[in-house]
């Protein structure tokens, strides 16, 4: 069982790519059992303190472990920025040394830094992700001379959740957030929030084709496939009849309604849980 955690529904962009990725050794990623947990009752995380984000994320991780996950992906950028390191370095070694928790930052950063020509990178994220400097730190670790420009975009998540993807108001706000990054002539842009890929066509239009904007879901899915190949000791079993179980800490009806729009497929197993 593989756990996918997000503060809410945005992480479905990651799950969607995972379920679509074509090959992984002999088995497709589609052939594993997944449990998706959205902490909708406490979302959004993006404007919360580090202490709160760490506490919520740890509760989510404990829940997913109690449901037999041996590997968890923190699809949430805010949780990856504010909680992952402490979970990996302090919590797991003491309490669950045989289990693994991964985030979305490292794969995205590697995707950018492997292009030698990219010297100027923009990061668009929630306020907490930007203030944590987690992307900036990882990028600098791999390529100290990069020029990095960060922009918090706190209004985008609510607009996307309202389904306002093609409204002129959203286009106007998006342009305002992207303008400083465009002025800095970034060559690559990291979408450091689960929701922003829904605005990818609009973002590409504003930034133009000259800017490399990787799709986070695709990058994370590929990196998960690699990880599973390199870590047979996790002994995750591929199966002929894989299951995807959905859990939310809030109302299941609203979760299903918006979730099916995000995932573009029917979501049948939805359970309300308490963390
Ligand atoms: N999932 C969050 C992220 O990727 C966005 C929504 C929130 O703020 O909780 O940062």
Q: Is 69 a catalytic residue?
A: no
Q: Is 76 a catalytic residue?
A: yes
Per annotation, catalytic residue among 4, 37, 53, 76? 76
pLDDT computed for residue 25 by the predictor: 52
pTM equals 0.95
Residue ranges of the chain assigned to CATH 3.40.50.1860: 2-103+217-272, 105-215
Asked if pLDDT for residue 7 goes beyond 70, the answer is yes
Q: Is 8 flagged in the annotation as binding?
A: no
Per annotation, catalytic residue among 15, 108, 156, 193? 193
Structure confidence by residue, pLDDT tens digits, 145-189: 999 999 999 999 999 988 899 999 999 999 999 999 999 999 999
Residue nearest to atom 6 of ligand 1 (CA): 44
Neighbouring CB atoms inside 10 A of 2's CB total 23
Give the CA count within 13 Å in the CB-facing half-sphere of 180.
11
Phi, psi torsion values for 124, nearest 5 degrees:
-115, 120
* Section 186-200 average pLDDT: 97
Looking at the CA of residue 81, tell me the nearest atom of ligand 1. 10
The C-alpha angle 5, 262, 58, rounded to 5 degrees, equals 10
Structure confidence by residue, pLDDT tens digits, 221-253: 999 999 998 998 888 888 888 899 999 999 999
Asked if pLDDT for residue 23 goes beyond 60, the answer is no
Q: In the structure, what pLDDT confidence band is assigned to residue 27 with cuts at 50, 70 and 90?
A: low
* Ligand 1 pocket mutation, candidates 9, 44, 81, criterion most atoms within 8 A of CB: 44
pLDDT computed for residue 22 by the predictor: 62
Structure confidence by residue, pLDDT tens digits, 66-89: 999 999 999 999 999 999 999 999
Q: In the structure, what pLDDT confidence band is assigned to residue 20 with cuts at 50, 70 and 90?
A: confident
- Choices 1.20.810.10, 2.70.70.10, 3.40.50.1860, 3.40.1710.10: CATH for 2-103+217-272: 3.40.50.1860
The arrangement of secondary structure in 105-215, i.e. its CATH architecture, is 3-Layer(aba) Sandwich (3.40)
* Ligand 1 pocket mutation, candidates 4, 5, 8, 15, criterion most atoms within 8 A of CB: 8
Measure the CA–CA gap between 151 and 141, rounded to whole angstroms.
20
Asked if pLDDT for residue 21 goes beyond 80, the answer is no
């Amino acid at each position: 069982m593989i756990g996918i955690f997000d503060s809410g529904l945005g992480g479905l962009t990651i799950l969607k790519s995972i379920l679509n990725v074509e090959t992984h050794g002999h088995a497709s990623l589609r052939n594993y059992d997944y449990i998706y947990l959205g902490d909708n009752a406490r979302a959004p995380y993006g404007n919360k303190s580090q202490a709160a984000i760490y506490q919520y994320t740890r509760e989510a991780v404990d829940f997913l472990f109690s449901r037999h996950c041996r590997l968890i992906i923190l699809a949430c950028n805010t949780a990856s920025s504010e909680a992952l390191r402490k979970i990996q370095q302090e919590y797991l070694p003491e309490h669950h040394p045989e289990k693994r928790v991964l985030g979305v930052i490292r794969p995205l950063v590697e995707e950018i830094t492997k292009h030698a020509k990219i010297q100027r990178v923009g990061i668009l994220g929630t306020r907490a992700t930007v203030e944590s400097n987690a992307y900036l730190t990882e990028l600098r670790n791999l390529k100290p001379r990069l020029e990095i420009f960060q922009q918090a975009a706190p209004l985008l998540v609510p607009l996307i959740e309202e389904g306002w993807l093609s409204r002129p108001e959203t286009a106007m706000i998006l342009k305002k957030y992207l303008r400083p990054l465009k002025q800095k002539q970034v060559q690559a842009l990291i979408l450091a929030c689960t929701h922003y890929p829904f605005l990818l066509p609009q973002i590409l239009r504003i930034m133009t084709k000259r800017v490399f904007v990787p799709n986070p879901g695709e990058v994370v899915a590929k990196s998960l496939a690699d990880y599973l190949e390199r870590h047979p000791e996790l002994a995750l079993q591929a199966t002929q009849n894989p299951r995807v179980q959905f859990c939310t800490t809030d109302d299941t009806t609203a979760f299903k309604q918006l979730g099916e729009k995000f995932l573009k497929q029917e979501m049948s197993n939805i359970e309300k849980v308490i963390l």
